[in-house]
Amino acid sequence: MKPLFGGIEGGGTKFVCAVGTGPDDIRAETRFPTTTPAETMGKAVEFFKEYEGLSAIGVACFGPLDPSPASPTFGRIMPTPKPGWTNVDVVGALRAAFDLPVGFDTDVDGAALSEWRWGAAQNCNPVLYLTIGTGIGGGALINGNLLHGLIHPEMGHIPLPHDLERDPFIGACPFHNDCFEGLAAGPAIEKRWGQKAETLPPDHPAWDLEAHYIALALQSYICTLSPQRIVIGGGVTQQAHMMPLIRAKVQKMLNGYVQSSAITQNIAEYIVLPGLGNRAGVLGAIALAEQALQA
Positions touching Zn ion (CB under 5 A) are 157, 173, 175-176, 179
How many helices and strands (H and E) does the chain possess? 9, 10
Binder among 198, 208, 223, 226 for ligand ADP (CB under 6 A):
198
Q: Closer CB to Zn ion, residue 175 or residue 261?
A: 175
Q: Closer CB to ligand ADP, residue 41 or residue 136?
A: 136
Nearest approach, Cβ of residue 251 and ligand ADP (Å): 23
Binder among 133, 159, 193, 228 for ligand ADP (CB under 6 A):
133
Q: What is the spatial distance between Cα 287 and Cα 54, in angstroms, rounded to a whole number?
A: 14
> Do the Cβ atoms of 131 and 230 come closer than 8 Å?
no
Nearest approach, Cβ of residue 12 and ligand ADP (Å): 6
Alpha-carbon distances, residue 15 vs 10, 222, 275 (angstroms): 5, 33, 22
Look at phi and psi of residue 148 and say left if phi exceeds 0, alpha if psi is from -120 to 50, else beta: beta
Q: Tell me which of ligand ADP, Zn ion, none is bound by residue 43, counting a contact when its beta carbon lies within the kind-specific cut-off of 5 to 8 angstroms.
A: none
| Residue list 30-59, contact with ligand ADP (CB under 6 A) | none
Work out whether strand 14-22 and strand 25-33 pair parallel, antiparallel, or are unpaired: antiparallel
Q: Tell me which of ligand ADP, Zn ion, none is bound by residue 186, counting a contact when its beta carbon lies within the kind-specific cut-off of 5 to 8 angstroms.
A: ligand ADP
- The beta-strand segments (E) located in the chain are 4-10, 14-22, 25-33, 54-61, 102-106, 127-132, 136-142, 145-146, 229-233, 271-272
The window from 43-51, 73-81, 189-197, 259-267 that contacts ligand ADP (CB under 6 A) reads 189-197
Binder among 236, 263, 287, 292 for ligand ADP (CB under 6 A):
236
φ/ψ (deg, to 5) at 282 = -70, -35
Q: Closer CB to ligand ADP, residue 11 or residue 22?
A: 11
Summarize as ranges the residues that interact with ligand ADP (CB under 6 A). Answer: 11, 133-134, 186-187, 190, 196-198, 234-236, 238-239
